Amino acid sequence: MTLSPLQLAYIGDSVYDLMVRSALLKKNCKLRAMHQSATGRVNAVAQAKTLNRILPFLSEEEMDYVRRGRSAHARHSAPKSASPADYAASTGFETLFGYLYVQGKEDRLKELYELSQTPEED
Task: Please tell me which residue in 13, 64, 107, 122 is annotated as part of the active site.
Answer: 13
Q: Please provide the DSSP assignment of the chain as one string.
A: ----HHHHHHHHHHHHHHHHHHHHHHTT--HHHHHHHHHHHSSHHHHHHHHHHHGGG--HHHHHHHHHHHH---SSPPPTTS-HHHHHHHHHHHHHHHHHHHTT-HHHHHHHHHHH--GGG-
**13 is annotated as an active-site residue:** yes
- Helix axes 44-54 and 84-102, enclosed angle (nearest 10): 60
Provide the annotated active-site residues.
Answer: 13
